[in-house]
C-alpha cells in the first residue's frame, strides 16, 4: 500500500487532509512501535459517530440489567429471567446478541455461585436464597453492540460470598483506572491480579475481555492477570473493549462442561464477575454501558 502523503485524504474517511487529521496520531504510533509495543490495525478504531451508536446500545444494555434488578428474587427460574431480557430488548428496538450466537440457545448468560460464566438459563434452575448470580447481557442496537454484566446477591448471602462480590467489583474498577491513551493494555491485568490475591482470591486465566462494537468479539484480547514483562498491545483513542475480570474464591482453574458453554470453577468454589464496555479517549476512558 502506498504511504500517505500529508496532503492526501486521511485514511479514516473524515474527508480531511491526512496532515490535518491522523498524521500526528500515526507518528505517535510509530514511536511506540519502535519501542516494541503491538499496534493493532486502525480498522478496529471507532469514529465519534460510531461511539455514539455503541453508547446507545450500552445504555439499553444497562437498562436491561436494571430491569433484572427488579425481577431477580428467590424462587424465580433463570429461564423466566431470560424471557424478560429477550422481551425487554425487542420492546426497546434491540436484538439480544447472545441468542443463537454460535448455537447459544438463550438471550443472556446467567451464572450462579460456582458457575464462572456462560450459564445457560433453564426452567429447572431456580434462584435460591444466598445465591450470588451474574447476568451477562449483550445488546445489538442499530448494528452496534453493548456488553456488560452485573452481580446480584439473593436474600441473605454469606459474608464470604459478599466479600467475593465486592472484591470482584473493585477489580473491575481498578482495571478501568488503568485505561489511558498510549498506555499498556497489560496494565489492566497487572493491577487487578495483585489486588485479588491480597484478598485471598484468584483471577481466571482461561477467559478474557475483548474488543467489541461493530461485532460481538474483536481485537484486542484483554487479560485480567499480570503479564508485567510484556509490553503487549498499546491502547489508543477510539479503541473499544470490555473489562470483565472473573474472580474465584479458590483456584483460578476452570472446567468446561459438556454442553459446550457452561464454565465452572475447578474446585466448585464461588466465582463472581462484573463487566463494562469502554472506549479509550484522548484523556482517559469513557464507560459506554
Query: Which of 5-14, 157-166, 215-224 has the lowest average pLDDT?
Result: 5-14
| Banded model confidence at residue 122, pLDDT cuts 50, 70, 90 | very high
Q: Using DSSP, how many helices (H) and how many strands (E) does the chain show?
A: 5, 15
Q: Pick the closest to residue 119 from 129, 108, 130, 127 (CA basis).
A: 108
User: Could you tell me where the DSSP H helices lie in the chain?
Assistant: 23-34, 48-71, 78-91, 159-177, 187-198
The model carries a pTM of 0.93
Q: Is the pLDDT of residue 287 over 70?
A: yes
> Rounded to whole angstroms, how far apart are CA atoms 59 and 90?
14
Report percent pLDDT > 90 for the chain: 85
Cβ distance 278 to 288 under 8 Å? yes
3-state SS, residue 254: strand
Q: Is the pLDDT of residue 191 over 80?
A: yes
Cβ distance 134 to 149 under 8 Å? yes
> Rounded to whole angstroms, how far apart are CA atoms 179 and 57?
21
Instruction: Locate the DSSP E strands across the chain.
Output: 95-96, 109-112, 115-117, 132-141, 144-153, 202-203, 209-211, 218-222, 240-243, 246-248, 254-256, 263-265, 271-273, 276-280, 285-287
Work out the angle at residue 236's Cα, subtended by the Cα atoms of residues 230 and 241, and round it to the nearest 5 degrees: 85
Structural domains in the chain plus CATH codes? 18-287 (3.90.230.10)
Query: Which of 3-12, 77-86, 125-134, 276-285 has the lowest average pLDDT?
Result: 3-12
Q: Which three cell numbers stand for residue 192?
A: 487487578
Residue 2's pLDDT is 63
Q: Which three cell numbers stand for residue 235?
A: 491502547
Cβ distance 141 to 63 under 8 Å? no
Q: Is the pLDDT of residue 23 over 80?
A: no
Amino acid at each position: 500500500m502506498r504511504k500517505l502523503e500529508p496532503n492526501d485524504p486521511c485514511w479514516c474517511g473524515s474527508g480531511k487532509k491526512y496532515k490535518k487529521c491522523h498524521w500526528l496520531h500515526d507518528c505517535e504510533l510509530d514511536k511506540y512501535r519502535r519501542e516494541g509495543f503491538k499496534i493493532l490495525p486502525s480498522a478496529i478504531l471507532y469514529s465519534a459517530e460510531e461511539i455514539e451508536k455503541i453508547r446507545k446500545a450500552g445504555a439499553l444494555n444497562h437498562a436491561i440489567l436494571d430491569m433484572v434488578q427488579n425481577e431477580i428474587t428467590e424462587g424465580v427460574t433463570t429461564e423466566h429471567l431470560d424471557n424478560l431480557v429477550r422481551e425487554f430488548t425487542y420492546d426497546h428496538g434491540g436484538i439480544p446478541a447472545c441468542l443463537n450466537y454460535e448455537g447459544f440457545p438463550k438471550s443472556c448468560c446467567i451464572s450462579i455461585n460456582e458457575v464462572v460464566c456462560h450459564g445457560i438459563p433453564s426452567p429447572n434452575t431456580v434462584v435460591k436464597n444466598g445465591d450470588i448470580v451474574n447476568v451477562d447481557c449483550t445488546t445489538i442496537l442499530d448494528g452496534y453492540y453493548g456488553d456488560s454484566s452485573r452481580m446480584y446477591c439473593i436474600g441473605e448471602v454469606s459474608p464470604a460470598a459478599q466479600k467475593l462480590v465486592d472484591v470482584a467489583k473493585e477489580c473491575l474498577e481498578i482495571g478501568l483506572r488503568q485505561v489511558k491513551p498510549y498506555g499498556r493494555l497489560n496494565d489492566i491485568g497487572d493491577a487487578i491480579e495483585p489486588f485479588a490475591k491480597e484478598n485471598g482470591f484468584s483471577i481466571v486465566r482461561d477467559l478474557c475481555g475483548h474488543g467489541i462494537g461493530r461485532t460481538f468479539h474483536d481485537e484486542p484480547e484483554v487479560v485480567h492477570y499480570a503479564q508485567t514483562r510484556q509490553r503487549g498491545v498499546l491502547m489508543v483513542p477510539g479503541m473499544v473493549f470490555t473489562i470483565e475480570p472473573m474472580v474465584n474464591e479458590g483456584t483460578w482453574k476452570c472446567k468446561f462442561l459438556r454442553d459446550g458453554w457452561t464454565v465452572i470453577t475447578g474446585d466448585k468454589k464461588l466465582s463472581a464477575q462484573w463487566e463494562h464496555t469502554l472506549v479509550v479517549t484522548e484523556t482517559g476512558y469513557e464507560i459506554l454501558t
